[in-house]
């Protein structure tokens, strides 16, 4: 148990729709990162939020957006879903960002299927 929860666990959407995935971080963790993990691949960094502001972003288009709230919850929003968006979406929280002295704690992920 990492203390990080995600909802829903599974989701099926159709191409063109919009989706919101939710994450609840460990209490006191100011940083949340979101990752996309395609089947058989390592996680790909989408973006990171620190104290409710986007702090870093990977190579994902603007239709991937996020929000972080003061109560240590966060959201990942994806607009105009494409078939290639089908993946496991992971959130990870850390006290002040991943790094040499910081550990990221991952949630179990939300598996999204786009038809």
Partner 1 sequence: TQLLEQSPQFLSIQEGENLTVYCNSSSVFSSLQWYRQEPGEGPVLLVTVVTGGEVKKLKRLTFQFGDARKDSSLHITAAQPGDTGLYLCAGGGYNFNKFYFGSGTKLNVKP
Per CB under 8 A, 15 contacts partner 1:
no
DSSP for 44-59, written as a single string: EEEEEEETTEEEEE-S
Per CB under 8 A, 73 contacts partner 1:
no
Could you give the 3-state DSSP secondary structure of residue 60?
coil
Per CB under 8 A, 72 contacts partner 1:
no
- What the block records as the tokens of 109 is 């992920």
Q: Which residues, listed in sequence order, are joined to residue 45 by a DSSP beta bridge?
A: 35
CB nearer to partner 1: give 14 or 103: 103
Per CB under 8 A, 4 contacts partner 1:
yes
Could you give the 3-state DSSP secondary structure of residue 83?
helix
Per CB under 8 A, 102 contacts partner 1:
yes
CB nearer to partner 1: give 82 or 96: 96
Per CB under 8 A, 25 contacts partner 1:
no
User: Which residue's structure tokens are 């038809």?
Assistant: 115
CB nearer to partner 1: give 85 or 94: 94
Residues 6+ apart with CB under 8 A from 43: 35, 36, 37, 90
* Sites of contact with partner 1 (CB under 8 A): 2, 4, 33, 35, 40-45, 48, 50, 55-58, 90, 92, 97-100, 102-104, 106-109
């Amino acid at each position: 148990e990492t203390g990080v929860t995600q909802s829903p666990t599974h989701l099926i959407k159709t191409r063109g729709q919009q989706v919101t995935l939710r994450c609840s971080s460990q209490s006191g963790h100011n940083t949340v990162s979101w990752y996309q993990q395609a089947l058989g691949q390592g996680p790909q960094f989408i973006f990171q939020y620190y104290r409710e502001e986007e702090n870093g972003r990977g190579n994902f288009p603007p239709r991937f957006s996020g929000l972080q709230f003061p109560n240590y919850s966060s959201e990942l929003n994806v607009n105009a879903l494409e078939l290639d968006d089908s993946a496991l979406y992971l959130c990870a929280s850390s006290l002040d960002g991943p790094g040499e002295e910081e550990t990221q704690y991952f949630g179990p992920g939300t598996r999204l299927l786009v038809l």
